[in-house]
Amino acid sequence: MPGGRNASVIGITDISSGLETIHCIIMSIEGLVLFDGVYGGEVVINRGIQPFDSKEFAKGLMSDIRMVFFRPVGELTETGILSNGSHVCRYRKDPMTIVDVIIDPNHDWEIRQYRNGNLNRSVKAYLNEKAIDVVQKAFPGRIEISVKEDPGYALTLRLIRAEPLH
């Protein structure tokens, strides 16, 4: 948030990896819709209340969601196993951008995006060990997104509920 403040909001995200579409709604705790946007090749803002009304915010949000839920863009260039036993796949998006997808032995996972050799964005996902049904166990219980490029920010997402749509 502006001025380095923290805020809690509720987000509803409907994604289709097959169609590569996203519909994202961000609401205040009281239920006021702060942002409603769609991505289907380009970003469309249906509703945005400041500071959630800018095209830059919408593009960044959709980029974060794509990074978390969609296959990395680019060519798979390397695979391997790290010293801690984690499996890693490296994708090259363009000459300046590399994305590493890392799966830990405990099945938590991480995505690291490097631009010009510097880590500029990362995602860490932690499985929900307390989940009692199969659908909830398939989705991370907590996701942490960290962006280092200006203006930097961090998001912690906690899963309330996941439902597969048929």
Q: How far apart are CA 15 and CA 164, in angstroms?
A: 10
| Confidence band for 134, pLDDT divided at 50, 70 and 90 | low
Q: Is the pTM of this model over 0.85?
A: no
User: Is there a contact between 110 and 124 (Cβ–Cβ < 8 Å)?
Assistant: yes
CB 60 within 8 A of CB 53: no
Instruction: Check residue 125 and give its pLDDT.
Output: 93
Token representation of residue 127? 């499985």
- C-alpha span between 149 and 100 (Å, rounded): 18
Cβ burial of 105 (10 Å; 0-12, 13-18, 19+) is exposed
pLDDT for 59-97, tens place per residue?
988 989 999 989 998 999 999 999 999 999 999 989 999
pLDDT in tens, 1-41: 555 667 788 888 888 888 889 999 999 999 999 999 999 98
Mean pLDDT, the chain, whole residue set: 87
